[in-house]
Structure 1
Amino acid sequence: MGLLSRLRKGQEPAASAPPTAHETGHVKLMIIFGIPLTDPAEEQSTPPGMIVRGDWKRIVTMRPDEYGYPYGVIPRRIMLWLARRARETGSPVIELGATPQDFVAELGLPSAAVSDVLWQAQRLFGASITLGDATVGKRTPTAITMRVAESFRFWDGQAGQVTLADHLFRSITEHQAPLDWEAVRNGDLSAMAIDVYGWLSLWVQYNTSVDSERLGWGRLHELFGHRLPMPEFEMMFADAANQAAPLVSAATLEALPDGALVRRRMHAAT
């Protein structure tokens, strides 16, 4: 039984059943993959009621609340910071700091970004996510729908606080993610570069029997494209790969005319 199936039944994952690459990696970053790069409200007169990413085997569907979609760099930084705090404290209840400025500083953003951070946090905490997986069992697709946050409290004479949804908290804490929050915090990564960094890190950790993989532009667009026109996406991905690849010492990532090539870096024996 896969992790998603066990979570739906309220069971703890069996220690003797190693999680699959999808269960430990893809689920952990599904929310990042589901967050739009830009505001869907600015792309068309009627924003979509949901955004679907992935292929027939693995999909993430994000639905906004009345505040609209979270998008761009800020909610990605928020999610990675929350994941780190959840692992450090072992609690789904995350303190956001005494003031909004404290929270913004934790994210590595300038104080001038306070209003944008609060707006994006409100959108993120109110969004609903559906994780769909048809790989956990033969012809037995499963799905989990959850909000990012069970509840949240912004600053009104008291410290800010958010309580993560149970499924999200368990996905974060049951398996470590090979992501360096400080590298994201201190770097000037684009939204797509954060996604590529997360994906490349997980590729190294969980595809242990694979030394290299070539992905065509179509597959890359499924993972990272977010409805971008292909020519624009290809340029943005190449730039994102250049930003993200240096952060993952165990692999190389090269943009090619027909897609990209990821290779495990073979360290010389000592």
Structure 2
Amino acid sequence: MKNPKNIEKFIDEALALQTEEARKAGALGYMARALVQATMPHSKTKEDNFTRRNGYYSLTMMADPDFGLPYGSIPRLLMSWITTEAVQTKNQELILGDSLSGFMRELGLVATGGRWGSVTRLKEQMKRLVSCSIRFKFEDGNQLRIKKLDPIDSADLFWTPRNPNQGTLFESTITLSKPFFEEIIQSPIVYRVDTLKLLKQSSMAVDLYIWITYRNSYAVKPFYIPWEALQMQFGAGYPFTPQGKSNFKQKFLEALKKVAIAYPEANKLRDEGQNLLFIPGRPDVPKLTK
């Protein structure tokens, strides 16, 4: 009988090889760690300020009053592209290209017109994202740490939304702020681009996928998370009630099913009444073996 430890080592090495091949093929994406600890809004809000909490940690987004806060899946796709491009190029200035449709293909979106089309929604969410400010806070009663981490320092967008296939004289660019650039270069969270794109229709599914594969990268034993804590971290736009007795828990579990189709390790998470039981599995992108 083969030694189970040897089998486990073989599987780890095979997965690590796949990871290295995926990295070379550009199939891996990256997300800012801070935006996984607390998430952006899922739906449109009238508020100019938005706060999510995860234990002692909190994220606050402040909107430009002319545009409002970013929300939904598109800002998440944009932020994942921004982080991935910065990690791969090691450059604060990112080139989005000279056509809107070309950039949308990189996000996994098809350019469609009209009031509710993808072109209109991308244009709106892009303005919201590049103009917002972000603050992170850690407060445990003994210490207080606040970090200003505005993602975008400047943006020059020359696209023609009415004709997304038309090239422009100048390429559109965004320049990341130095603090945000350093944050994502130092410790980004890695994921599979194909998995994320499969989930792009659901902003909560995108959040859960990256969060689960991130937790799986370091968790070693099962643990419980109260539904109240999950609602504070992920439940943007859902009325807060004790023990998760709102439609948040239902929406969370529905999104979890979607994630499990694309990333089967998510099937290990269990609803245990007042808590979610997190049973660690393999991260979607295993760590390289040495």
TM range (shorter): 0.7 to 0.9
Paired positions, count = 232
Residue 215 of structure 1 aligns with which residue?
A: 225
Partner Cα separation in structure 2 for residue 26 and residue 139 of structure 1:
30
What is the deviation of 1:248?
4.4
Superposition deviation, residue 172 in structure 1: 1.2
- TM-score, normalised to structure 1, is 0.78
Counting only pairs closer than 5 Å after superposition, residues 146-165 of structure 1 correspond to structure 2 as 146-155=149-158, 157-165=169-177
CA contact (8 A) 1:249 1:265 kept: no
- Partner letter of residue 52 of structure 2? R
The answer (yes or no) to whether the contact 1:241–1:255 under 8 Å persists in 2 is no
What is the CA–CA distance in structure 1 between the aligned matches of 2:44 and 2:61, rounded to whole Å? 13
Structure-2 separation of matches of 1:58 and 1:32? 8
Taking only the aligned residue pairs, the percentage that are identical comes to 23
Shift of residue 146, structure 1, vs aligned partner: 3.0
The worse-fitting range, judged by mean Cα deviation, of 72-81 and 210-219 is 210-219
**1:260 counterpart SS class:** strand
1:143 alignment partner in structure 2: 146
- CA drift of 1:91 comes to 0.6
- SS in structure 2 opposite 1:236? helix
Contact 1:100 1:155 in 2 (8 A): no
Q: Is the 8 A contact 1:178 1:205 kept in 2?
A: no
Q: Say whether residues 1:63 and 2:79 are aligned partners.
A: no
* 1:259 corresponds to: 275
Asked whether the 8 Å contact 1:189–1:243 carries over to 2, the reply is no
**Distance in 1 between residues matched to 2:31 and 2:143, nearest whole Å:** 18
Tell me the amino acid that sits aligned with residue 179 of structure 1. Answer: Y
Please tell me whether the aligned partners of residues 31 and 189 of structure 2 are also in contact (alpha carbons under 8 angstroms). no
TM-score, normalising length: structure 2: 0.73
Query: 1:246: Cα distance to partner?
Result: 4.6
Long gaps (5+) in structure 1: 1-24, 41-46
Cα distance in 2, alignment partners of residues 32 and 126 from structure 1: 21
CA deviations 1:215-253 (Å, max 9, x no partner) are 121011011001303522111100111122354465622
Tell me whether 1:39 sits opposite 2:35 in the alignment: no
Q: CA shift at 1:108, angstroms?
A: 0.4
Query: Aligned partner of 2:83: which letter?
Result: A
Distance in 1 (CA, whole Å) between partners of 2:132 and 2:281 is 38
What stretches of structure 2 of length at least 5 have no aligned partner? 1-29, 113-117, 160-168, 240-244, 283-290
RMSD of equivalent CA atoms: 2.4
